[in-house]
A and B are shown apart, each in its own frame.
Chain A
Amino acid sequence: KNEVEQSPQNLTAQEGEFITINCSYSVGISALHWLQQHPGGGIVSLFMLSSGKKKHGRLIATINIQEKHSSLHITASHPRDSAVYICAVRSGYEKLTFGTGTRLTIIP
């Protein structure tokens, strides 16, 4: 079993829909990252959180430390949100374990 599991692997939705991507992990962590990888390949950091909830524009990230689970939500989704979303957990200063990503496609 991978230390970091993301679901779903692929998600296709209509523009305007509310999107949820899930991340479960099996190790103790100090922080969890959500990253976005654009079709061109570049990776951008969206959130880093260790408890509670963070919001940036239409994106919301939550984490439940007890349940070892995090969600990334996108409200009013738009085709430009189409990307691969990656969850990564930090369990040591150097150790980051990455999920395999969720490929999101938003259809106009």
Chain B
Amino acid sequence: NAGVTQTPKFRVLKTGQSMTLLCAQDMNHEYMYWYRQDPGMGLRLIHYSVGEGTTAKGEVPDGYNVSRLKKQNFLLGLESAAPSQTSVYFCASSYSPGLHQNSPLHFGNGTRLTVT
């Protein structure tokens, strides 16, 4: 049981390049989230998904796109990377909080992205 797997672990991009971060979970969770973690700030929600084929914006969505074509995968795309997107990115998943009130969050190990 792998839990939540993020790839890649590290990446360096030049300004303007694009990339996709992959998040995969094997727990049959409905909800999946992408967060970014910056020094001195709490985790901030970029985008989230409440089920296969659905996505929604979080608090800092600009410059990112997401897709959830399969229930187990949640992809985060940067179309044209900017230095402000240098951050550590975390994927998380959970059962629906409305149906499973005690459902904890499960996090991936993070992706450290540097944009130069």
Chain B interface residue count, Cβ-Cβ cutoff 8 angstroms? 28
Report which A residues bind B (CB closer than 8 A): 2, 4, 30-31, 33, 35, 40-45, 48, 50, 86, 88, 90, 93-101
Contact status B110-A41, CB under 8 Å: yes
Query: Measured between C-beta atoms, what is the minimum distance from A47 to chain B in Å?
Result: 8
User: With A98-B42, A101-B42 as given contacts, are A43 and B102 in contact (CB-CB < 8 Å)?
Assistant: no
Give the residue of A42, A50, A97 whose beta carbon is less than 8 angstroms from that of B42.
A97
Give the residue of B31, B42, B90 whose beta carbon is less than 8 angstroms from that of A100.
B42
B74 is an interface residue with CB less than 8 A from chain A: no
Known: A44-B107, A48-B103, A98-B44. 7 other contacts (CB 8 A): A31-B101, A41-B109, A42-B110, A45-B106, A93-B96, A95-B45, A96-B33
Contact status A43-B56, CB under 8 Å: no
Q: How far is the CA of A90 from the CA of B110 in the complex (A)?
A: 22
Contact status A48-B104, CB under 8 Å: yes
What are 26 sample pairs from A and B whose C-beta atoms fall under 8 A apart? A4-B42, A30-B97, A31-B97, A33-B104, A35-B105, A35-B107, A41-B88, A41-B109, A41-B112, A42-B107, A43-B92, A45-B104, A45-B107, A48-B102, A48-B104, A93-B98, A94-B31, A94-B33, A94-B45, A94-B48, A95-B45, A96-B33, A96-B43, A96-B105, A100-B41, A100-B42
Chain A contacts for B92, CB-based, 8 A: 43
